[in-house]
Structure 1
Amino acid sequence: MQPSAVLRRTPLIKFVGKRVFTEAVDHSPRVHSQDPHGALPTSFQQYRLNAQQHGPLASSSAHRLSGSIAPAPGEFFSRNDLPARYRYTPLDEDEMDIINAGGAI
């Protein structure tokens, strides 16, 4: 490759205008419009008492207060809990051979 060809390269991305950083953005914490509680927690400890992520984050006493993490009626955590018509159909040997061969059969 010739060095002159490398020097003449221009990027394909064109940026329009200058970068402008506004100073008037309000970064104070606010309650989200969809928050069911309607108030910000006063501390991180208070937040962790009610927070759940794959189960309760707090101690076992708070776990009893938070309730079960079982699915609500009509909801399912696994496709295997659904009726048979909604489950994946099992693959037979011929389909597995075609998949393993990359579909080249």
Structure 2
Amino acid sequence: MNATKALLQGRQPMIRFLGKRTTPATIDHTPHAHPASPTHSLPESFASYRQKAQQHGPLNQYSTGHVGSRPGASLGPIEAGKGNFFDRSELPRRFQRLAWTQAEIEAVESGGASQFA
């Protein structure tokens, strides 16, 4: 006798489906603004969207319309503003990364077991 068949014979699923699956007769595929959008409206066209869009800098500054058509140096200097830093090593000494001690390295490599041995 197959044990699985015997176990599943009296099994009843805990969820109940209310009826047959139905697909809606009409589905509205027209574009609409996201409910959380700040303007609650769609852009008039993709070109007008590109004029305002930002992706690693303004997208509307390119002469031919292709990303990479101008060298990065022509976009101007890249410097962090006052109080902003690009890397943690540029921060004051008290905010920089601390050097690992030999005891910390051994603890990480042993999974912490060396602290209790």
> TM class, shorter-chain normalised?
0.5 to 0.7
Q: Hey, what does 2:55 align to over in structure 1?
A: 52
After TM superposition, the score normalised by the length of structure 1 is 0.53
- Write out per-residue CA displacement over residues 76-95 of structure 1, whole angstroms, 9 at most, x where no aligned residue: 12111111111121111111
Are 1:33 and 2:43 an aligned pair?
no
- Write out per-residue CA displacement over residues 40-74 of structure 1, whole angstroms, 9 at most, x where no aligned residue: 66439x839x74338x834226862x433432221
- For structure 2, the 5+ residue unaligned runs are 60-66
Are 1:102 and 2:103 an aligned pair?
no
After TM superposition, the score normalised by the length of structure 2 is 0.49
Structure 2: distance between partners of 1:93 and 1:70: 37
- For structure 1, the 5+ residue unaligned runs are none
Matched residue count: 96
Q: Percent identity?
A: 18
Give the RMSD, CA atoms, in angstroms.
Answer: 4.7
Q: Which has the larger radius of gyration?
A: 2
Alignment of 1:2-13 (within 5 A): 2-4=3-5, 5=7, 8=11, 10=13
